[in-house]
Copies of this chain bind each other. A is one copy, B any other.
């Protein structure tokens, strides 16, 4: 593929992504279909189905884009403590849910559906496993270097589960002040635990 064609392909994908977000935001997840996205994005059928043979491919791409955005906006290297990282992630999540709730609700919808689709579940599993590996590496400077890979991986998963539930609670209940406090407590809890695990290792 030449550079120009690559660039065009990327532009097509971004148009499709923007259209998908807009449809879900304005009309709800039920309205999302390949044809609707094609019309709204103003791309050709061939272009759409080349990138996304099935609607699930679009969901996976949306998830991938969200993960990449989080990775850039919340690079753990920018924070010196686990508490500061969790605080920033909380604030970021609340802002995202206020401004673009569809970016999260669409994924919840897809995740709850993918259980019935073994092939996509497999791809999603690979994606999540590699994401947890990547993150547990990236947050390793919050811990002592002698923490085992398994311990780091488990802590990363607990963090992810917390923010998964946090998104649900905040989406439904709002209460920024309350959930800000709760995240601070969770951060303290996790930091204490990591510290204790380290002490055990000594």
* A196 & B185 in contact (Cβ 8 Å cutoff): no
Contact status of A185 and B128, CB under 8 A, knowing A112-B108, A112-B109, A164-B164: no
* A157 & B181 in contact (Cβ 8 Å cutoff): no
Residue in B128, B129, B173, B181 whose beta carbon sits within 8 Å of that of A128 in the complex: B173
Q: For residue A145, which residues in chain B have a CB less than 8 angstroms away from its CB?
A: none
Would you give the 0/1 interface string for A183-194, flagging 1 where the beta carbon is closer than 8 Å to chain B? 001101110110
Q: How far is the CB of A181 from chain B (nearest CB, A)?
A: 7
Quick one: closest B residue to A174, CB to CB? B125
Q: In the bound complex, how far is the Cα of B155 from the Cα of A196, in angstroms?
A: 20
Which of A157, A181, A182 has the most B CB atoms < 10 Å from its CB?
A157
Residue in B29, B113, B125, B164 whose beta carbon sits within 8 Å of that of A173 in the complex: B125
Interface residues of A in 45-92 (CB under 8 A from B): none
* A172 & B105 in contact (Cβ 8 Å cutoff): no
* B113 & A172 in contact (Cβ 8 Å cutoff): no
Contact status of A28 and B158, CB under 8 A, knowing A121-B172, A168-B164: no
Contact status of A105 and B112, CB under 8 A, knowing A154-B181, A161-B166, A181-B154: yes
Quick one: closest B residue to A181, CB to CB? B154
* B124 & A172 in contact (Cβ 8 Å cutoff): yes
Q: What are the 7 closest A-B residue pairs judged by CB atoms, nearest first? A: A161-B165, A164-B165, A105-B112, A189-B193, A108-B112, A165-B165, A154-B182
14 further contact pairs, Cβ within 8 A, besides A109-B112, A162-B165, A163-B165? A28-B113, A28-B116, A105-B112, A105-B113, A111-B172, A112-B112, A124-B172, A129-B173, A154-B181, A160-B165, A161-B169, A164-B165, A192-B193, A192-B196
